[in-house]
Amino acid sequence: MRYNRSVPKSVPIAAEVDDEYENSVRRLTSLLRADPRDIAPSSFDHLVRLAQKVMQCSKAVLMLSGTADPDEGDVVRSPSSTPIDSALVRFALDTDEAFVISDVGADERFANDPLVTRHRSIGYFASAPLLNTVGERVGTLCVTDETPRKWLRSNEIDAMDALAGAIIADMALDESRLEILLQNTELRRLNEVQALKDDFVATVSHELRTPLTSIMASLGLLEDGIVGDLSDEARDVVRVATSNSARLVSLVDDLLDLEKMESGVIDLVISSASVEDIMEVSLSAVAGNAQKSGIELVREDRFETGMKLDCDPERIVQVLVNLLGNAIKFAGFGTTVTLRCEIAHHDRLVFSVVDWGEGIPEESLSKLFEPFWQDDSSASRRVGGTGLGLAISKKIVDQHHGRLEVDSTLGIGSTFRVILPIKAK
C-alpha cells in the first residue's frame, strides 16, 4: 500500500487518524529504538544482515506492512513502554523512493525528533520502500548508524534500491514455495481421497456384489420350484424380489464400471469386430423387454456385408444395449425402436438408436451425460433408473476416440448417435 502524505517539519495532531498508518509508525519506531538482540529473527534475516554489511551500518531493520508477525522479524520482544512520535519514521513511511540522510542531526526537519535527539543512536539513516509488482507498498527497509557521514556516496541510494528489490524477489520466491507446498498438499489429499474411493469400490465389489449374486441364485431356485412348489402369491413375491435384486446388481455393476473408467484403470480389449454381430447381440439383449413393452425392434444395415470395426465389442454392445433399453422405456406402446448403422465420411461408423417416445426437454440435453443426473419429468420418474447408464456409455465412447450425440424433440422422439472411427487410433 502507498502512504501519500506530505512531510511536515513538526507533527500536527490529525483530525482523522489512519489506524493502519499510525500502527506502522509505532512499529517502525519501536524497531529503530530497540536493541537488535530484542528483535525476533526474520525469515529474511540473511538479507537484513546483507543490508547492514553493504551499507556499512550498525543496524538494519525490516518492517512488513500489515499485522506484525513474530516470524517475519518485525516484532520487538520487549518494546519500550514510553511511546514517541518520530518525524523521521513518518518521512520513511511517506516516501515512495529510496533515500539517504548522511547527517540526521543536521537536518532541520528532524531537529525536534525525539528518536534523533534523545537516543543519539541515529546519526546516519537510509530507507527504501518495498513495492510489489503493482506498486503497492508491502514493507520498509531501514539502516542506521550512530556516526553521521560527511559525504554521501553516489551509489548508496542505488544500493538501497537493490537491497529492497532482493527482499521483494525473496518474498516472491517464498510465495512460489508456498504455492508448490499447497499444490503438493492438495495432491496428497486427492491421492488420499482416491485411495478411499478404491477401498470403497473393493468393499462394494466383495461385500455387496457377492451376496447379491447369491441372493439372485437362491431366488432363481425358488422361482423355478427346485426347492418345492410355491403358491401363486409366493411366486409373485419371489418374482418381485428377483427383479429388485437384479436392479441392485445392475446398480453395483454400473458403479464399479464408472469408478474404473474415472480412475483410468479399465483397459479396452480392441479387436476387429463384426458390425453385424454387434448389432445382433445388442438387439437380442433387449428383445424380451421390447416384447413386454409392446415395442417393435427394427434393424437397418446401411453398410457392406462383412464390415469390421476396430473396437472393444463387449463395451460397444454395452453402450448400444443401454441406449436401446432407454429407448424402449420411453417409447410409446405400439411404436418402433430402430438400431441403424451407416458409414460417414469414409472413416467413421455411426450407430443410431431412434425412438418415437416423449422426447427430452431442450434444457436437459446438456446434462444427460452427467453421472446420477435424471430429467425431472413424469416419464423419467415413471421408468426410474440409476442415472449412470449414459455417463458410462459416454466414457466408453470417449475411450474409443468417438462421440456420443443426441437430438430430441418433445412429443416426437429422440435419436442417439454413437460415432466411432472404423480404424483404431
* Comparison of pLDDT for 5 and 234, the residue scoring more: 234
Residue 262 has pLDDT above 80, yes or no: no
Residues 79-88: b if buried by 16+ CB within 10 A, e if exposed: beeeeebbbb
Q: Could you report the per-residue pLDDT of 122-161, keeping only the tens digit for each? A: 999 999 999 888 888 888 999 999 999 877 666 888 889 8
Q: Cell numbers at residue 337, please? A: 425402436
CB atoms within 10 A of CB 313: 18
CB-CB contact of 394 with 420 (8 Å): no
Number of helices and strands in the chain (H, E)? 11, 11
CB count within 10 Å of CB 124 equals 23
Bridge partners (DSSP) of residue 418 are 351, 404
CA distance 8 to 90: 9
* Burial group, residue 187, by CB count within 10 angstroms (0-12, 13-18, 19+): exposed
Angle at 273 between CA 267 and CA 279, to 5 degrees: 105
CATH architecture of the domain with range 271-421: 2-Layer Sandwich (3.30)
pTM for the structure as a whole: 0.49
Q: What strand order describes the sheet that includes 403-409?
A: 296-302, 336-344, 348-355, 413-421, 403-409
The three cell numbers of residue 367 are 446434462
Q: Which fold has domain 19-153?
A: Beta-Lactamase (3.30.450)
Q: What is the pLDDT of residues 61-72, one digit of tens each?
A: 888 876 545 544
Domain borders along the chain are 19-153, 181-263, 271-421
Selection from 129, 130, 126, 124 nearest residue 156 by Cα: 126
Hey, what amino acid is at 93? L
| pLDDT reported for residue 141 | 92
Q: Was domain 181-263 assigned CATH 1.10.287?
A: yes
Dump pLDDT digits (tens) for 141-152.
Answer: 999 999 998 776
Amino acid at 265: V
Structure letter (DSSP) for residue 212: H
- Distance between CA atoms of 421 and 231, rounded to whole angstroms? 54
